[in-house]
Amino acid sequence: MEVAVKQSSGKDSGRKAVLNDNIFNAEPSDHAIYLDVKLIQANARQGNAKTKQRNEIAGSTRKLKKQKGTGGARAGSIKSPLFVGGGRVFGPEPRDYGFKVNKKVKRLARISALSYKARENKITVLEDFKMDAPKTSEYLKVLGNLNLTGKKTLVVLPESNKSLYLSSRNLQGSKVVTASDINTYDILNAHDLVVFESALPLIEKTIEL
């Protein structure tokens, strides 16, 4: 599959980038995508919710009333879950929500996500350019030249670029990542994928590992 390489000005560079059919034109697996996205979202959970059980409540241990003769239920501690201010039964504890997904399934999920984007013609290959200093207006100008203003975009760089990252950081719906950090959720969550030309072989290398 071939895609025209665009310049940051929005013009066609006159060159074509070849997308690997094994990665960008494969048969997608919706179930692999589901598992990988579920894992990514589970790993993003803090898992630090905590309530106190009756053995963790600060309070007196004296018996509240005599055992018999009151006509009510037996009560032995103010820390009982039955009383206001008592401990909670089976409350949440700090935990890890992650689960195991095989490496091959994760790989298939990323391939499936990229293949969907390629089928929808939502992948733009951009000629490499640099920004000497962080400037959001310049970053927006590039997106405007590519007719991506107001759309959710995922920009994939070959390596970390602080100026580009800082230029996009305060824009809602725009994210900049390196080729080694792309994941299924980010790919699907973006309306369009903007891939730097030199990042293409790195994406292939990352996925084929």
Query: Tell me, what CATH number does 29's domain have?
Result: 3.40.1370.10
The answer on 6 and 73 residing in a single domain is no
Handedness of CA 47, 48, 49, 55 (dihedral sign): positive
Kindly give the parts of the chain with pLDDT less than 70: 209
pLDDT at 130: 84
Task: Give the CA distances from residue 159 to residues 55, 64, 115, 200, in Å, rounded to whole numbers and listed in that order.
Answer: 52, 67, 23, 12
* Residues 121, 180 within the same domain: yes
Instruction: Looking at the structure, tell me whether residues 78 and 144 fall in a common domain.
Output: no
The model's pTM is 0.83
Say which amino acid occupies 1: M
pLDDT in tens, 43-69: 999 999 999 999 999 988 899 999 999
Under DSSP, is residue 177 helix (H, G, I), strand (E, B) or coil?
strand
| 180 and 84 both lie in a single domain | no
Domain span holding position 71: 51-91
Distance, in Å, from the CA atom of 171 to the CA atom of 97, rounded to the nearest integer, reads 30
Q: Note the pLDDT of residue 209.
A: 62
pLDDT tens figures, 121-130: 999 999 998 8
Residues 117, 76 within the same domain: no
